[in-house]
Amino acid sequence: MPEADLEVLRHRLHQSRDVVVLTGAGISAESGVPTFRGPDGLWRQYRAVDLATPQAFQRDPRLVWEFYQWRRQLLAPLQPNPAHRALAALEQRCPRFTLITQNIDGLHALAGSRRIIELHGNIWHLRCTGCGQVREDRRLDLPPLPACQTCGALLRPHVVWFGETLDPAVLAAAYAAVAACDLMLVIGTSGLVQPAASLGYLAKQRGAFVAEINLEPTPQSDLYDLSLLGKAGDLVPRLLPAAR
């Protein structure tokens, strides 16, 4: 990793007024969070991508909830890594800061980040299939078919499943933040999942300086001003000295 590139990014951070950060699975993987893709994408004999769908929940909600209970138990002991904590510190030093994440694990909030847009929801939040109420619930011993305390209808994980669209209000907030920023960091994303994959490009079109931090190049790497290859936990903390 050329130190000169890091110095350029530190200088840009020092000069910026409005910072947006987009994070993906790569930053959480450094905390031990498994992903849907690869060898971690199998639960029992089921592919995770086949269970995380509205059709699977309609067909067998008990099985889907068992899968999500397993995931919640897996995530519960995990802690934010240095990249999560550095971004929380960066938020404190930047006048205008927005963190957009594709991750559902809640680790950014655990690290202290507050201005968070969770594109794909949060596994620690439950949503009522009847009245639509959303509430946080971190219990690891939920009933097999948890029910809403308000209306009694079945609860579901408040996450965006495959085949579902993002919440329009959440997506609009993300677009607004990207349109207003003068610097954007894209950290730990594959650059393959839309609409998140297009956010860096949109920021670049609006005149922002865009830098990517990832283990390997992505389809967007050549579009950005900088592409820094390495672990987020190593690189992101090295940006802090220049932040206000």
pLDDT tens per residue, range 10-46: 999 999 999 999 999 999 999 999 876 555 556 777 8
To the query of whether residue 108 is one of the catalytic residues in this protein, the response is no
End-to-end CA distance of the chain: 24
Count CB-CB contacts under 10 A for residue 7: 12
* C-alpha dihedral sign at 191, 192, 193, 194: positive
For residues 227 and 215, the answer to whether their CB atoms sit within 8 Å is no
What average pLDDT does range 229-234 have in this prediction? 96
Of 14, 84, 108, 120, the active-site residue reads 120
Count CB-CB contacts under 10 A for residue 83: 27
- The pLDDT score that the predictor gives to residue 41 is 59
pLDDT at 91 over 80: yes
- Residue 193 — pLDDT band, cuts 50, 70, 90? confident
Query: How far, in Å, are 139, 158, 198 from residue 125 at the CA level?
Result: 10, 5, 26
Sorted by where each starts, the structural domains of the chain and their CATH numbers stand as: 3-32+79-120+166-242 (3.40.50.1220), 38-77+128-159 (3.30.1600.10)
pLDDT digits 0-9 by tens, 36-81: 655 555 677 788 778 999 999 999 999 999 999 999 999 999 999 9
For residues 83 and 57, the answer to whether their CB atoms sit within 8 Å is no
For residues 54 and 61, the answer to whether their CB atoms sit within 8 Å is no
Q: Kindly report the backbone phi and psi dihedral angles of residue 30, in degrees, each rounded to the nearest multiple of 5, phi listed first.
A: -70, -10
Alpha-carbon gap, residue 167 to 171, rounded angstroms = 6
Residue 215 token pair: 């283990």
The mean pLDDT value of the chain amounts to 93
For residues 109 and 124, the answer to whether their CB atoms sit within 8 Å is no
pTM above 0.85, yes or no: yes
Query: How far, in Å, are 42, 73, 166 from residue 67 at the CA level?
Result: 11, 10, 22
Q: Pick the closest to residue 175 from 211, 199, 204, 193 (CA basis).
A: 199
For residues 208 and 129, the answer to whether their CB atoms sit within 8 Å is no
- For 9, which DSSP code? H
- The pLDDT score that the predictor gives to residue 49 is 79
